[in-house]
């Protein structure tokens, strides 16, 4: 799958699949020939997954997780083809017989405006700017962490999403629609300008060694402790993205512009006729009109990233 022609699978998806195969599929189905994997085989696997209990899953795996794991089995069985590309083991899957439940009431928490105001106020350095940018643009966390200073316009009014970061490695964005220019309101652009200080090159968000920040470290060291302090349920970075999308809709931003900023594909033929995304002036007017939706109550301290030459000099001086 990493080398699939046309649309390779992203590393994050591959990591999830590998974990599923190691924990669930190989122990239960690994010794079976693909020809023997039928509806009854998946039914037994679903029963086992529903009965699973752990500290993280006291009620068993969620309906969404079970569906994803079953879909992976179907993909593996369907991937076996002959020299003509015909499936070797076609099967008419019966989800009702297998025991798949309808996915409903899926947990999709959203951060409230007052929570984001408090997070930006309490956070410092990289995290302070990151939280404000995520909530003020709707960028995916990997997109924000993959931004370079060359992706920011000279007037700090636009960030161009051209790559994403995953575990310190740059990769192409999730879809073609993810390649976009996202406009910042005046207030957020001024904060970004202040944050950058005199920096001209490198990553927008980086450690003092200049390396890309890890999402897991930010969650563990900053976001989750701050949410606990605020007595807000723990959640990931998508809470910022849901907040921004909701704020844009409440502010009656044109739907095609909302999709463009958020990085979602067109849904109708009419969407393809609209060229709002090419009208930078109109986009900025909308960005200023809707604003942030939360309050920036503290000044942003410039984040200076030491160059490799300076780090080496400091290390040599320390050794001496």
Confidence band for 11, pLDDT divided at 50, 70 and 90? confident
**DSSP label at 206?**
B
Confidence band for 208, pLDDT divided at 50, 70 and 90? confident
Q: What is the CA radius of gyration of the chain?
A: 23
Tokens of 116: 């984001």
Helix (H) or strand (E) segment spanning residue 168:
none
State how far the alpha carbon of 170 is from the alpha carbons of 198, 219, 258, 280, in Å: 24, 20, 26, 27
pTM given for the model: 0.77
Q: Is 141 helix (H, G, I), strand (E, B) or coil?
A: helix
Find out if CATH 3.40.718.10 is the number for domain 113-305: no
Residue 311 above 60 pLDDT? Answer: no
Task: Specify which of 185-189, 268-272, 276-280 reaches the highest per-range mean pLDDT.
Answer: 185-189
Contact by Cβ (8 Å): 205, 129? yes
* SS3 per-residue string spanning 304-318: CCCCHHHHHHHHHHH
Cα 237 from Cα 194, distance rounded (Å): 23
State how far the alpha carbon of 13 is from the alpha carbons of 19, 280, 283, 311, in Å: 10, 34, 33, 36
Predicted confidence at residue 101, as pLDDT, reads: 82
Cα 156 from Cα 141, distance rounded (Å): 19
Instruction: Provide the residue ranges of all domains of the chain, joining segments of one domain with +.
Output: 11-98, 113-305
Residue 269 above 80 pLDDT? Answer: no
Q: Mean pLDDT, to the nearest integer, of 294-303?
A: 74
Confidence band for 13, pLDDT divided at 50, 70 and 90? confident
Of the candidates 135, 163, 158, the one whose C-alpha atom is nearest the C-alpha of residue 238 is 135
Question: How many other CB atoms sit within 10 Å of the CB of residue 113?
Answer: 15
Predicted confidence at residue 189, as pLDDT, reads: 95
Confidence band for 207, pLDDT divided at 50, 70 and 90? confident
Q: Pairing state of beta strands 158-161 and 180-183?
A: antiparallel
Predicted confidence at residue 313, as pLDDT, reads: 37
Cα 99 from Cα 46, distance rounded (Å): 7
Residue linked to tokens 């809470």 = 239
Cβ neighbourhood burial of 117 (10 Å; 0-12, 13-18, 19+)? buried
Residue 17 above 50 pLDDT? Answer: yes
For all residues of the chain together, what is the average pLDDT?
A: 87
Of the candidates 306, 295, 301, the one whose C-alpha atom is nearest the C-alpha of residue 196 is 301
Q: Mean pLDDT, to the nearest integer, of 57-73?
A: 86
Contact by Cβ (8 Å): 244, 137? yes
Q: Could you give phi then psi for residue 183, rounded to 5 degrees? A: -90, 140
> pLDDT: is 141 or 277 the higher one?
141
């Amino acid at each position: 799958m990493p080398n699939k022609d046309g649309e390779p699978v992203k590393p994050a998806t591959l990591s999830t699949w590998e974990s599923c195969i190691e924990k669930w599929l190989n122990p239960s189905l690994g010794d079976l020939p693909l020809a023997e994997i039928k509806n009854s085989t998946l039914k037994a696997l679903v029963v086992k997954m529903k009965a699973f209990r752990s500290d993280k899953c006291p009620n068993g795996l969620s309906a969404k997780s079970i569906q994803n794991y079953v879909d992976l089995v179907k993909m593996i069985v369907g991937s076996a083809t002959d020299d003509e590309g015909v499936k070797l083991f076609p099967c008419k899957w019966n989800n009702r017989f297998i025991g798949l439940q309808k996915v409903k009431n899926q947990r999709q928490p959203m951060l409230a405006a007052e929570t984001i105001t408090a997070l930006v106020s309490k956070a410092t350095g990289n995290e302070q700017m990151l939280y404000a940018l995520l909530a003020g643009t709707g960028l995916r966390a990997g997109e924000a962490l993959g931004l370079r200073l060359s992706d920011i316009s000279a007037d700090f009014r636009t960030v161009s999403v051209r790559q994403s970061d995953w575990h310190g490695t740059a990769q192409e964005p999730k879809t073609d629609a993810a390649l976009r220019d996202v406009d910042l309101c005046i207030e957020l652009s001024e904060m970004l300008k202040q944050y950058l200080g005199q920096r001209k090159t490198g990553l927008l968000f980086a450690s003092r060694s200049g390396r890309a920040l890890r999402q897991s470290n930010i969650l563990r060291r900053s976001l989750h402790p701050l949410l606990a302090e605020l007595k807000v349920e723990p959640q990931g970075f998508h809470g910022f993205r849901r907040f921004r999308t909701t704020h844009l809709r409440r502010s009656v931003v044109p739907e095609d512009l909302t999709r463009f900023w958020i990085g979602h594909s067109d849904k109708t033929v009419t969407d393809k006729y609209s060229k709002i995304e090419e009208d930078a002036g109109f986009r900025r007017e909308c960005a200023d009109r809707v604003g942030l939706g939360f309050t920036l109550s503290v000044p942003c301290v410039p984040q200076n990233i030491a160059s490799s030459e300076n780090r080496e000099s400091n290390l040599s001086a320390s050794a001496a």
